[in-house]
Amino acid sequence: MGESPKNPAIPPFSILARVLHSRSSGEFFVDGGSLVSGQIVSLAGTVAVPGGCSSKGNGACGSSGGASDMPAEIWEKVKNHPCYSEEAHHYFARMHVAVAPACNIQCNYCNRKYDCSNESRPGVVSEKLTPEQALHKVMAVAAKVPQLSVLGIAGPGDALANPHKTFRTFDLVAKALPHLKLCLSTNGLALAEHVETIKDYNVDHVTITISAVDPEIGQHIYPWIFHDHRRWTGLDAARILHERQMEGLERLVAAGILVKINSVLIPGVNDAHMAEINRVVKAKGAFLHNIMPLISDPAHGTHFGLSGQRGPTPIELAAVQDSVEGGAKLMRHCRQCRADAVGLLGEDLGAEFALDKIEDEPVFDPKVREIYMNVVEQERADRQDAEDQARRRSGGTGEPLLVAVATKGGGRINQHFGHAREFQLLEVDGQSVRFVGVRRADNYCKGGYGEEDSLEAIIKALTGVSAVLVARIGDCPRHTLAEAGITVVDDYAHDFIEASALAWWGRVMEKAGRISA
């Protein structure tokens, strides 16, 4: 595919310049039917401006982190990266290419049949790609998904245990699509010796998975590593891995590369240790700390799965996250995506971009991307204005309440309750709206009928929530939720999430007589 392709059939910019936003669907349409076929569209035939959370009808969202939270030069680096900014994940997509099959360590939560669980969820196997196939796939996605802003390499093994494939892929993609940010994830064992190369390739976001900073604990997570031409086990393996991770982290920070730390939370193994991990990585300059729940299932064939080690409940995860607040900034919107994930966080369009489904010579149109970027800028500004106005009207600050939101993107409440497979959780106190995480459960509506079992699971997932904000809901689930103490609110359908949460809080407090109208 070579250098950035040019399409002689692209219509003048003026034709593309009119973008229509449908408040009823939360989606954007580009006006100008003369667009090159398939150029703009998404999978549903529209340019969905999702809200980081959703896809194909699902929705979700993440950690804090907007322009006001950080220096301008850092915001420049993260503002379009869906993992490094919760705000960005409403609007921008990432894709992973599975070019890195080998690994140099063994984790007790990993079965090599599946993708690296440091950065993806086990249970699914990626389509392994050569760097050239990876470029082809990236071009195909960029041509259809204008939200695409990041290419990540996150397995299915370790990106830096496969350095030639990883860097060859980055080289090809950077030449063809220079607007994409490059990102990689690693266990850190082979990191230190690659920091210069990482910098040379303009990879400015690196994730290191660090689940222990004490080898005594690490030895219960990593049974062996392969280092310096030999296999190490037990305490020695954990000590070497720890030293190499710390050295890699320090070198990345010294090189000006943003570092995110992923830690797998394993109850009874490292839960009491998580605050120490957070403290150490903050002191060494990590930008973000993502505490992810262990996914453990005997069917995955992992050591932890087979030995009965359980993962944390959502409440346990939130409690550990809350306990480290004030240390390294937390990421709370991770979706534990696959090593070949494509789309907004929480959505996975990977199957629709399998090699045998993509066209031979996809064409990326930079003008479409430019239109999209302009739309996002406007949406961001409008959303902030709406939030500011709602804050001024809310009547003060007071008791924090937890609210769940059904969204399929764009930072709006735009999803039917029955279609939601995940809910964003926000804590609102009249002045601030804090994103606290994502709760998942199978969706309620199946083929036009409600599933009582799903509703029960959703109610369980929404433990502690006072209200759920949705675009629509049927009478039956509304009553069942009410009986469980969860108020259903559909008055803010298609409005911005934060402004609506503030308005709802004001209404509740006013009704309770805690603030005056």
- The smaller minimum CB distance to ligand SF4, of residues 80 and 207, is found at 207
How far apart, in whole angstroms, are the C-alpha atoms of residue 432 and residue 327?
Answer: 20
Closest by CA position to 166, among listed 177, 180, 149, 151: 151
Query: What tokens were used for 321?
Result: 């996250």
- The smaller minimum CB distance to ligand CLF, of residues 136 and 335, is found at 335
Contacting residues toward ligand SF4, per CB under 6 A: 103, 105-107, 110, 116-118, 155, 157-158, 187
Count of CB atoms situated within 10 Å of the CB of 415: 31
| Of 18-26, 239-247, 299-307, 330-338: span binding ligand CLF (CB under 6 A) | 330-338
Give kind and range of the element (H or E) at residue 358: none
Are the C-beta atoms of residues 435 and 62 closer than 8 Å to each other?
yes
Closest approach of Cβ 261 to ligand SF4, in Å?
A: 14
Closest approach of Cβ 290 to ligand CLF, in Å?
A: 5
Closest approach of Cβ 339 to ligand SF4, in Å?
A: 9
Kindly give the interhelix angle for 497-511 and 366-393, rounded to the nearest 10 degrees.
Answer: 20
Contacted entry of ligand SF4, ligand CLF, none for residue 443, CB cut-off 5 to 8 Å set by kind = none
Closest approach of Cβ 41 to ligand SF4, in Å?
A: 35
- The smaller minimum CB distance to ligand SF4, of residues 27 and 158, is found at 158
x-marked contacts with ligand CLF along 148-187 as a string, rule CB under 6 A: --x-x-x----------------------------x-x--
Closest approach of Cβ 253 to ligand SF4, in Å?
A: 21
Contacted entry of ligand CLF, ligand SF4, none for residue 83, CB cut-off 5 to 8 Å set by kind = ligand CLF
- Helix, strand, coil percentages for the chain (3-state, nearest 5): 35, 20, 45
Are the C-beta atoms of residues 62 and 331 closer than 8 Å to each other?
yes
Annotate 107-154 with DSSP letters as a single string.
-TT--TTS--TTTS-TT-------HHHHHHHHHHHHHH-TTEEEEEE-
Please give the residue whose beta carbon sits closest to ligand CLF in the complex. 152
- The smaller minimum CB distance to ligand SF4, of residues 110 and 509, is found at 110
**Residues of this chain, 340-379, that bind ligand CLF according to CB under 6 A:** 345
Q: Which of 56, 79, 90, 96 binds ligand CLF (CB under 6 A)?
A: 96
How far apart, in whole angstroms, are the C-alpha atoms of residue 287 and residue 84?
Answer: 9
Contacted entry of ligand CLF, ligand SF4, none for residue 117, CB cut-off 5 to 8 Å set by kind = ligand SF4
Tell me: does residue 337 bind ligand CLF (CB under 6 A).
yes
How far apart, in whole angstroms, are the C-alpha atoms of residue 311 and residue 296?
Answer: 6
Closest by CA position to 287, among listed 61, 77, 62: 77
- CA dihedral (446, 451, 457, 463) in degrees, to 10, reads 100
Contacted entry of ligand CLF, ligand SF4, none for residue 421, CB cut-off 5 to 8 Å set by kind = none
Contacted entry of ligand SF4, ligand CLF, none for residue 338, CB cut-off 5 to 8 Å set by kind = none
Closest approach of Cβ 256 to ligand CLF, in Å?
A: 17
Contacted entry of ligand SF4, ligand CLF, none for residue 271, CB cut-off 5 to 8 Å set by kind = none
Tell me: does residue 329 bind ligand CLF (CB under 6 A).
no
Closest approach of Cβ 298 to ligand SF4, in Å?
A: 17
Contacted entry of ligand CLF, ligand SF4, none for residue 79, CB cut-off 5 to 8 Å set by kind = none
Tell me: does residue 79 bind ligand CLF (CB under 6 A).
no
Range list of H helices, 234-365? 234-254, 274-283, 303-307, 314-323
Annotate 415-470 with DSSP letters as a single string.
-BGGG-SEEEEEEE-SS-EEEEEEEE---SEETTEE-HHHHHHHHHHTTT-SEEE-
**218 by DSSP, 3-state: which?**
helix
Closest approach of Cβ 440 to ligand CLF, in Å?
A: 13
x-marked contacts with ligand CLF along 132-151 as a string, rule CB under 6 A: ------------------x-
- The smaller minimum CB distance to ligand CLF, of residues 253 and 334, is found at 334
213: alpha, beta or left? (left if phi > 0; alpha if psi -120 to 50) = alpha
Q: Which of 108, 166, 290, 414 binds ligand CLF (CB under 6 A)?
A: 290
- The smaller minimum CB distance to ligand SF4, of residues 104 and 147, is found at 104
Query: What tokens were used for 257?
Result: 């590369």
How far apart, in whole angstroms, are the C-alpha atoms of residue 33 and residue 507?
Answer: 44
Closest approach of Cβ 246 to ligand SF4, in Å?
A: 17
Kindly give the interhelix angle for 452-461 and 475-483, rounded to the nearest 10 degrees.
Answer: 40
Contacted entry of ligand SF4, ligand CLF, none for residue 337, CB cut-off 5 to 8 Å set by kind = ligand CLF
Q: Which residues does 460 contact at the CB level (< 8 Å), separation at least 6? A: 441
Catalog residues that contact ligand CLF under the rule CB under 6 A. 83, 94, 96, 119, 150, 152, 154, 183, 185, 205, 207, 260, 290, 334-337, 345
